[in-house]
Structure 1
Amino acid sequence: MEELKNKNSGNEIPKVTGVGGIFFFTEDPKETRDWYAKNLGLEVNDWGSTFESRNIANPEEINSLQWSPFKNGSEYFEPSKKEFMINYRVQHIEKLVENLKANNVTVLDEIATYDYGKFVHIMDSDGNKIELWEPK
């Protein structure tokens, strides 16, 4: 039980807790989704596919990872010029954004709140747009 306690000891630290999504460009998102469904068995919808897993330290907690192909040239990845974007699950997003600003990290927008959590976008040192998501 002590080991499980130690795994939860960082719950108050503003940080990344996992990967929440993988987004990438493709010429035809529907064709790409269909290919993955047919050949690799992904259950797909208009947005891609959602993978669920349990938190080993807290088995009642279900986490998800969103896999989504985007049409080449989608503005959603801007200002990045890269062909992918990663979404990271985080905890304590407000404090994390404060820390990022203090470290002179480019924060692209204000924290937006939706029914399924809070989001903000940043740029990493390589020019990759990163989406941070604190689930509800």
Structure 2
Amino acid sequence: MSKDDFKRVTGLGGFFFKSENPNEIKDWYKNHLGIPTDQYGWTFWWKDKDGNDCSTQWSPFEAKTNYFNPSEKPFMMNFRVHDLEALLKILKEEGVTIVGEMETYDYGKFGWILDPEGNKIELWEPIDTAFL
């Protein structure tokens, strides 16, 4: 399979943004938009075109978080991917800036890149069954 045929992003994994007061902003979204927030924000559950359970996370972070570094932007996108290790290898070959080392957890693998404008993007190869 050529890199042109390689499945890369499969969906939006999450949207993360900085907030001066994450708890107050979660309460606002809960009270005004009916979003049933928890300590992390809210997980949207959905099914992909093949009927697989999937999730997308919405989370406010403390304004002083270092999690978005080296980006100076107040947000970070998370994209679901099919095969993170192979994708990171391809992206490196294409000259994309890789941030840090891949991390593995019981709910998936994570890697980070920067786009040309310095936006940090989190890439997630999920294990959605870990949340069920």
| Same topology, TM > 0.5 | yes
Partner of 2:109: 118
Runs of 4+ aligned residues of structure 1 deviating over 2 Å after TM superposition are none
Partner of 1:83: 74
Distance 2:83 2:7 in 1: 5
Listed as ranges, the gaps of 5+ residues in structure 2 are 128-132
RMSD, matched Cα:
1.1
Are 1:32 and 2:53 matched, yes or no? no
Q: Which has the larger radius of gyration?
A: 1
Aligned partner (choices 58, 65, 73) of residue 64 of structure 2:
73
In the TM superposition, residue 71 of structure 1 has moved relative to its aligned partner by 1.1
Aligned partner (choices 9, 26, 36) of residue 16 of structure 1:
9
Distance 1:63 1:73 in 2: 30
Distance 2:19 2:101 in 1: 28
How many pairs are equivalent? 123
Kindly, what percent of the aligned residue pairs are identical?
48
Partner of 2:130: none
- Cα deviation per residue 1:75-107 (whole Å; 9 max; x = unaligned)? 000000001000000011111001110011111
